[in-house]
């Protein structure tokens, strides 16, 4: 919380305490106390703050609202340009690191120089010793890169570890975690990401880039007062930034928008947000294209050069098979990842995160150096696997050798297996790490293997009935294994993330394979079906559940006939404030004794309203500090009455929450949950005939919806990242 | 309403009246009376009906829920396949009609034969007389096609006119209009559409195909009881069908999904619906590709063959210009269309819809015959305008002649102008007519014209600084006018429909121009900015407002500080029922006297609940028809009490609505509106301290949100289509 916004919020709080006498209708909304990390924002309140501000501006003429809009767009555009350039330079940096590294390993300049100096040195430069020393340098460099990334993260910005997408999902849902978006985190995440990618660990840059984009937008937003006024406005900006991040990560402007739509689940709320994400995404992609890191002036990263644009009906069989494999292995990857995360949390590893990174990067580098497909950067591997065999272009590690099909299939499956295990471990270590690229690499290996097998089968039995649709000329290619790799990648991603439409769009923007949208759709569909059967949640949802963020999944809830009444906290268990009964002194004692988010106000059992702890605290403090020494013993009234104060009572009706939602207690549980999901409220009261029967809070609903996952909250405290435990948002007794 | 579902619903109603004594907790939800056209569904009720059914099924073992799911998917798949095949055969039919027509016109077989018979006949076959007779035949055929389409629509299925998308938007939002989706409408719309397209009128098949797809899904759903149980389930199916329709219309499976998302605004509610739309869309596209109407085995309709995949920075200037033009002309098109619709409604034309179609198709045909670009089918024109000039492919009507640039630009602008006026009139006549293709054609003409001008400019001043990025070799093309046509089409569509993302996706699935996503995005963005400045609503929204459908736009509402209390109907104006005061006889009188959708139940001013007119009617009728003759004079109690009936009272607490939403009256108006938008409720009560202060209904919100449009409700009654007036959904006094 910087001082500017703290001052601002405190200012608002002061305004509140001063307007006790203002009439009911013109009273304004306030944040009584600054939001702090771990809070959840009150969407109703934030929206009204934004509304008040824009009304005030509109009342000052048309210029100010225009300026306000311009500022919003300015931040959107700057974020887009910024992340575009940052993404491009990150690529350049990684390329430079990797190529330098490769030069060192292959030329072994220093080693050669040393060898020249000593008399028996020449013999070192040949044979197994040379190979060993190359391996040693390769591994050392990997360790150096990964280790420095881990040290950077641990020392300067513990929030820069992992992918960041679970946190961004939660923040967009209303969670407050400003420490996650500081300039420091921005810098460390970007730098650490470059090092981590260059280290050859099994991770991608996609998720972290989204985090970087959000950090940029957040830091920029700090310069403009309007975003400090309203957290909901800031979240709309962050949503746009996140789409820009995806847009740059994949060179996929549409995919970015759809990712925001499907995975971040923000645009469901308003078309305007979608529109802003669209603009941010387009601008970011343009900036990326302008910087042109690869000198191709193309956004398409892994251009697929499929000779034939058509596909045959029988190919649906291997494609659906790939979908099934993707669903199964995706679920497996999630499960291993969860187990690793739990093991890390509950073992010695917890205290030595940097050591873990160093050791694991040494292991990764050693294994990778032995398996030829693992040795290169994942992106290079994927680009080659997506490529069709073309004699003019040369053969990538013998992949196109028709006489070595079984060897190639074995090598591809081995690579996929190794990468699966490495990825499951890496995703969660103390370094910036995305899951997209490794998943694509695993899927591409599997897909290429299935493609090679299908091709071999077709070549062996060209006359079989199912291959009748292939061209009769055996020299014409009927099956394109490169495209099978794309399908495999789609299926694997579907299994791991459980995204659908955004995946398809990202994949075909990534490959340019527009003509093959349908097969990609089919495999993603199958993978999701199979994956969902093995466990409902994608990897991001699982991490959110493990970290216990107050994030409401947008799943359709299924009750067994329960009603709201069945899972509300009944009236008897609630800590309430009686209207017109308590004196200021008693309220003070109450506030000291209880530490809940807020309290329903009742008269007998009749519901009067709801007041938050913070608002009540500020009001009581003000009364306490006032000149009127008799205030302590006067009773407080919360209901709005025509003649208040006549018998010495203090009117506190202005601090009662404006928007309290009431439902009947026999409202079906599903409806109650969808009220929370759609309106983003923090609590709902159940009343009947005006009487308060009970209430349900957002945290009740979150824990209900994540209860099916066995490890909910497993990482909520004391994770390797020294993660602040999530302080339960509402704990009404 | 077919008898099956009516019987079913009546059965449920019977169930209701029989369970008066069932305890409060296990009581079931019902539709007391069948829904009829003009109603709005109660989403809470329909969701609970669906929930009850699935609970019942789950209690019978795992097989039945599986069967239920299978049936759902069966209908989705069948609809997808059906609309894919229907779309393909529609194309074939149109092609056949058009080619037959062309053969008749050009060969003038009959005319030639007649001419041979008479001695001076040979002179007819030359010169102006021949041209005149060709024109005559051309016009006659157009009239014949259009006239028969109009007669079919007027006689058999008045709901088959127009595009259908405004109605589908309303239906998906909860409006009940079963007559719009009958098999008869399906048949006439498909047949009439083929005739209308073949007649050469300025219309497209895209919107109507969405309607046809929805009709198919609706008719199929009639065979499965589960959809009759729950209207919300049926609507989820219809949403999937609509995406399949778009998918087939444009050969754009992803565009279909996004159209559903953005324009139909359905998926905001649930991920599951998006997912089903995704599947339906993919299957429909596969079916289309399988039938392969054009023998190309490609989904891409207007393949763009742009030689260069790169574009230069200075081209942003003409593209943004095109965006501005698209925004302005799009708004103009909407405005002319509205004026024409109002004129049609308020003039003699109203009574002669078929005559209007005949006369206007004669006019269209005459004008079109004179302007060479108007003479062909719009789709053929668009395909040629999107094509780059290539000496190998021949020159389309001299479009590539570099010495005739000014003539071509003039011709293109003339074509665009003519088509604009023709389209604005055609969209709303008594024939099936979509607005997409004509809009694309107008935009393509404009874009090509701008492209030609830019190209000419660049060729004239190749050394100018802004063209420095062009290749120095003058024989290499720097500017691709064909691609400018695509940009123009995007901009114009943006101006007319105000869609964003779905448009971009549809356009690049339509053209295969993936590398040019960014320019398309930029022009759509600009067009939407400019268009929104000239009038907030797209053409579909305007038609919904003119027809007064109870459709809630998803716009972000802006209040001026009003609260719910400012626009609610206050308690004093409400017709309420007093709890425990009225006898059955009095309630009967009450129901005869008032015809509102429902009544709040109060005790004094304390809110007890809400009961719908229909539910109360059924309950009262049952009590009245019972054996207990004393029922008439016993008082009715709605509040749930521990000991009811002890003093001769009748307990009616089981008919009180389960889900009544209560808010405080100082909830900001924006929040109240977003409660309606997001939860799709029909009414909200305002209470304070348990006392009813007032209520707001969905129709209040709809009229508030459409009040800015000057012609709201202008076409609500007695339109040319003999449209049933929209009976106001809720009229609480």
Of B399 and B601, the structure prediction assigns the larger pLDDT to B601
Average pLDDT, integer, range A48-55: 77
Question: Minimal Cα–Cα distance from A675 to chain B, Å?
Answer: 7
CB < 8 Å to A668, chain B: 47-48, 51, 658-659
Contact (CB, 8 A) for A138 and A98: no
| Per-residue confidence (pLDDT) for residue B267, from 0 to 100 | 47
Contact (CB, 8 A) for A507 and A304: no
Question: Minimal Cα–Cα distance from B608 to chain A, Å?
Answer: 5
- Whether ipTM tops 0.85, in short, is no
Of A265 and A65, the structure prediction assigns the larger pLDDT to A65
Probe site for chain B from A689, A692, A695 (most B CB atoms < 10 A): A689
Average pLDDT, integer, range A336-340: 92
Helix (H, G, I), strand (E, B) or coil at A199: coil
Average pLDDT, integer, range A630-636: 73
| B509 has a pLDDT exceeding 60 | yes
CB < 8 Å to A667, chain B: 658-659
Q: Percentage helix, strand, coil, to 5, in chain A?
A: 65, 5, 30
pLDDT of B634-654, one tens digit each? 777 777 654 444 566 777 777
pLDDT of B436-487, one tens digit each? 999 999 999 999 999 999 888 888 888 888 777 777 776 777 888 888 999 9
CB contact under 8 A, A521 and B253: yes
CB contact under 8 A, A667 and B659: yes
What superfamily does domain B313-547 belong to in CATH? Clc chloride channel (1.10.3080.10)
CB contact under 8 A, A664 and B664: no
Select from A512, A668, A678 the Cβ nearest to the Cβ of B48: A668
| Per-residue confidence (pLDDT) for residue B287, from 0 to 100 | 84
| Per-residue confidence (pLDDT) for residue A301, from 0 to 100 | 65
| A305 has a pLDDT exceeding 80 | no
| Per-residue confidence (pLDDT) for residue B438, from 0 to 100 | 92
CB contact under 8 A, B663 and A668: no
The span from the CA of B442 to the CA of B382, in Å, is: 9
- B602 to chain A: nearest residue by CA? A689
pLDDT of B142-155, one tens digit each? 888 899 999 998 88
The span from the CA of B357 to the CA of B485, in Å, is: 30
What is chain A's mean pLDDT, rounded? 78
**First-to-last CA distance in chain A?**
29
Count other C-beta atoms under 10 Å from residue A247's C-beta.
38
| Per-residue confidence (pLDDT) for residue B516, from 0 to 100 | 74
**Residue keyed to tokens 């928008």:** A257
Probe site for chain B from A27, A514, A555, A564 (most B CB atoms < 10 A): A514
Probe site for chain A from B42, B60, B246, B254 (most A CB atoms < 10 A): B254
pLDDT of B58-111, one tens digit each? 788 778 878 888 888 888 889 999 999 998 888 888 888 878 777 766 655 555
| B727 has a pLDDT exceeding 50 | no
Question: What φ, ψ does residue A249 adopt, rounded to 5°?
Answer: -60, -40
The span from the CA of B378 to the CA of B439, in Å, is: 10
pLDDT of B386-412, one tens digit each? 888 777 776 777 777 778 888 889 999
Of B294 and A36, the structure prediction assigns the larger pLDDT to A36
Q: Which of B318, B198, B248, B165 is CA-nearest to residue B510?
A: B248
Question: Minimal Cα–Cα distance from B162 to chain A, Å?
Answer: 26
Give all strands (DSSP E) within A240-337, no chain letters.
none
- A639 to chain B: nearest residue by CA? B689
CATH class name, domain B569-640+648-707:
alpha beta
Q: How does residue A571 score in pLDDT terms, banded at 50, 70 and 90? A: confident
pTM for this entry: 0.79
- A510 to chain B: nearest residue by CA? B514
* Intrachain domains A64-291 and A569-640+648-707 with the same fold: no
CATH number of B64-291: 1.10.3080.10
**First-to-last CA distance in chain B?**
29
Q: Calculate Rg over the CA atoms of chain A.
A: 30
Of A361 and A505, the structure prediction assigns the larger pLDDT to A361
| Per-residue confidence (pLDDT) for residue A252, from 0 to 100 | 82
CB contact under 8 A, B501 and A671: no
| Per-residue confidence (pLDDT) for residue B679, from 0 to 100 | 78
Q: Which of B442, B497, B398, B586 is CA-nearest to residue B165?
A: B497
Average pLDDT, integer, range A335-350: 89
Q: How does residue A527 score in pLDDT terms, banded at 50, 70 and 90? A: very high
CB < 8 Å to A270, chain B: 554, 556
| Per-residue confidence (pLDDT) for residue B312, from 0 to 100 | 77
- Please tell me the least confidently modeled range out of A283-292, A571-580, B42-51, B238-247: B42-51
CB contact under 8 A, B51 and A668: yes
| Per-residue confidence (pLDDT) for residue B22, from 0 to 100 | 31
Select from A505, A659, A662 the Cβ nearest to the Cβ of B254: A505
| Per-residue confidence (pLDDT) for residue A29, from 0 to 100 | 61
| Per-residue confidence (pLDDT) for residue A10, from 0 to 100 | 34
pLDDT of B690-706, one tens digit each? 788 888 888 888 888 87
| Per-residue confidence (pLDDT) for residue B340, from 0 to 100 | 92
Contact (CB, 8 A) for A580 and A649: yes
Probe site for chain A from B690, B693, B695, B705 (most A CB atoms < 10 A): B690
CB contact under 8 A, B521 and A560: no
| Per-residue confidence (pLDDT) for residue B488, from 0 to 100 | 94
What is chain B's mean pLDDT, rounded? 78
- A500 to chain B: nearest residue by CA? B275
CB contact under 8 A, A660 and B663: yes
| A24 has a pLDDT exceeding 80 | no
| Per-residue confidence (pLDDT) for residue B723, from 0 to 100 | 30
Question: Minimal Cα–Cα distance from A134 to chain B, Å?
Answer: 42
Of A8 and A158, the structure prediction assigns the larger pLDDT to A158
| Per-residue confidence (pLDDT) for residue B257, from 0 to 100 | 83
The span from the CA of B286 to the CA of A317, in Å, is: 15
Dihedral over alpha carbons B220, B221, B223, B224 (to 10 degrees): 140
CB contact under 8 A, B556 and A504: no
Where do the domains of chain B lie? 64-291, 313-547, 569-640+648-707
| A17 has a pLDDT exceeding 50 | no
CB contact under 8 A, A556 and B270: yes
CB contact under 8 A, B658 and A667: yes
Of B234 and B132, the structure prediction assigns the larger pLDDT to B234
Probe site for chain A from B45, B236, B246, B268 (most A CB atoms < 10 A): B268
Q: How many CB pairs under 8 A join A and B?
A: 205
The span from the CA of A77 to the CA of A402, in Å, is: 51
pLDDT of A596-611, one tens digit each? 778 888 888 888 888 8
């Amino acid at each position: 919380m910087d001082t500017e916004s703290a001052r601002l919020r405190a200012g608002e709080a002061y305004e509140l305490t001063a307007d006790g006498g203002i009439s009911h209708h013109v009273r304004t909304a306030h944040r009584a106390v600054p939001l702090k990390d771990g809070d959840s924002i009150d969407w109703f309140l934030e929206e009204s703050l934004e509304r008040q501000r824009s009304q005030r501006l509109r009342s000052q003429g048309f210029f100010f609202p225009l300026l306000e809009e311009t500022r919003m767009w300015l931040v959107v555009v700057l974020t887009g340009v910024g992340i575009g350039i940052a993404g491009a330079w990150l690529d350049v940096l990684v390329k430079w690191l990797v190529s330098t590294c490769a030069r060192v390993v292959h030329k072994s300049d220093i080693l050669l120089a040393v060898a020249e100096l000593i008399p028996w040195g020449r013999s070192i430069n040949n044979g197994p010793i040379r190979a060993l020393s190359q391996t040693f340098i390769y591994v050392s460099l990997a360790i150096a890169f990964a280790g420095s990334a881990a040290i950077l993260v641990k020392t300067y910005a513990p929030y820069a570890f992992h992918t960041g997408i679970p946190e961004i999902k939660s923040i967009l849902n209303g969670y407050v975690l400003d420490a996650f978006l500081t300039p420091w985190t921005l810098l460390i995440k970007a730098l650490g990401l470059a090092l981590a990618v260059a280290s050859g660990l099994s991770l991608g840059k996609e998720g972290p880039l989204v985090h970087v984009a959000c950090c940029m937008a957040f830091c920029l937003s700090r310069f403009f007062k309007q975003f400090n006024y309203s957290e909901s406005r800031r979240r709309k900006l962050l949503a746009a930034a996140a789409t820009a991040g995806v847009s740059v990560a994949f060179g996929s402007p549409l995919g970015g928008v759809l990712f925001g739509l499907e995975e971040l689940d923000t645009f469901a709320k308003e078309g305007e947000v979608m529109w802003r994400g669209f603009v941010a995404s387009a601008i970011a992609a343009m900036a990326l294209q302008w910087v042109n890191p690869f000198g191709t002036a193309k956004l398409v990263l892994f251009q697929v050069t499929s000779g034939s644009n058509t596909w045959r009906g029988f190919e649906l069989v291997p494609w659906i098979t790939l979908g099934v494999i993707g669903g199964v292995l995706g679920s497996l990857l999630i499960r291993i990842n969860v187990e690793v995360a739990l093991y890390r949390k509950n073992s010695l590893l917890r205290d030595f995160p940097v050591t873990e990174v160093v050791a694991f990067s040494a292991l990764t580098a050693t294994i990778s150096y032995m398996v030829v497909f693992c040795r290169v950067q994942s992106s290079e591997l994927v680009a080659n696997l997506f490529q069709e065999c073309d004699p003019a272009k040369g053969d990538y590690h013998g992949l196109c050798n028709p006489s070595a099909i079984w060897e190639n299939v074995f090598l591809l499956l081995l690579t996929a297996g190794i990468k699966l295990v490495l990825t499951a471990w890496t995703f969660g270590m103390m370094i910036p790490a995305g899951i997209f690229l490794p998943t694509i690499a695993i899927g591409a290996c599997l897909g290429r293997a299935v493609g090679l097998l299908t091709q071999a089968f077709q070549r062996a039995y060209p006359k079989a009935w199912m291959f009748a649709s292939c061209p009769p000329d055996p020299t014409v290619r009927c099956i394109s294994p490169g495209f099978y790799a794309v399908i495999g990648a789609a299926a694997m991603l579907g299994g791991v993330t459980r995204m659908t439409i955004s995946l398809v769009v990202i994949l075909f923007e990534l490959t340019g394979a527009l003509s093959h949208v349908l097969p990609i759709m089919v495999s993603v569909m199958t993978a999701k079906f199979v994956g969902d059967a093995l466990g409902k949640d994608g990897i991001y949802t699982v991490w959110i559940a493990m970290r216990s963020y107050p994030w409401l999944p947008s799943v359709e809830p299924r009750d067994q006939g329960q009603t709201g009444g069945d899972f509300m906290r009944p009236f008897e268990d609630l800590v309430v404030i009686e209207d017109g009964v308590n004196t200021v002194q008693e309220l003070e004692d109450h506030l000291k004794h209880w530490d809940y988010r807020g309290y329903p106000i009742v008269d007998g059992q009749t519901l009067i309203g709801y007041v938050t702890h913070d608002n009540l605290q500020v009001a009581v403090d003000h009364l306490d500090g006032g000149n009127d020494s008799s205030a302590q013993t006067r009773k407080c009234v919360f209901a709005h009455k025509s003649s208040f104060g006549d018998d010495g009572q203090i009117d506190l009706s202005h601090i009662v929450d404006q928007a309290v939602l009431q439902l009947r207690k026999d409202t079906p549980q599903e409806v109650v949950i969808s009220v929370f999901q759609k309106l983003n409220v923090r609590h709902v009261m159940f009343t009947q005939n005006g009487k308060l029967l009970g209430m349900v809070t957002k945290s009740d609903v979150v824990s209900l919806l994540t209860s099916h996952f066995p490890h909910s909250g497993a990482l909520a405290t004391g994770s390797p990242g020294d993660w602040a435990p999530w302080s339960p948002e509402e704990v009404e007794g």
